Amino acid sequence: MEYVNLGRSGLKVSRLCLGTMNFGTYTSETESINIMNRGLELGINFFDTANVYGGLDNPVGLGETENIIGRWLTEDKSRRDKIVLATKVYGRMGSAPNQSKLSAYHIRKACEDSLRRMKTDHIDLYQMHHIDRETPLEEIFQAMEQLVRDGKVTYLGSSNFAAWNIAEAQMFARHRNFLGLISEQSIYSLRNRNIELEVVPACKHFGLGLIPWSPLGGGILCGVLEKQKEGRRNRTPLQKSVEKLFPQIEAYENLCKQINQTPADVALAWVLSNTVVASPIIGPRTVEQLEQNVKSLELKLDSETLSRLNEIWPGPGNQAPEAYAW
Mean pLDDT of 19-41: 96
pTM (predicted TM-score)? 0.95
pLDDT of residue 55: 72
Confidence label for 72 from pLDDT (cuts 50, 70 and 90): very high
* Separation of CA 180 from chain center: 19
The topology (CATH level 3) of 3-218+263-299 is TIM Barrel (3.20.20)
More confident residue, 117 or 231: 117
The whole-number average pLDDT for the span 78-106 is 96
Is 252 catalytic? The answer is no
Q: H helices within the chain, ranges in order?
A: 29-41, 64-75, 104-117, 137-149, 163-175, 199-206, 224-229, 236-258, 263-272, 287-295, 303-312
Q: Are 165 and 172 in contact (CB under 8 A)?
A: no
| Alpha carbon distance 20, 49 (integer Å) | 5
Q: Which of 3, 53, 105, 324 is catalytic?
A: 53
> Which residue, among 5, 68, 4, 3, has the nearest Cα to 37 in the 3D structure?
68
Helix, strand, coil share of the chain (percent; to 5): 45, 15, 40
Please check the confidence at residue 58 and state whether its pLDDT lies above 90.
no
pLDDT tens-place string over residues 288-322: 999 999 999 999 999 999 999 999 999 999 999 99
pLDDT at 57: 59
When pLDDT is cut at 50, 70 and 90, the band that residue 235 belongs to is: low
What residues does each domain of the chain span? Answer: 3-218+263-299
Average pLDDT (141-159) is 98
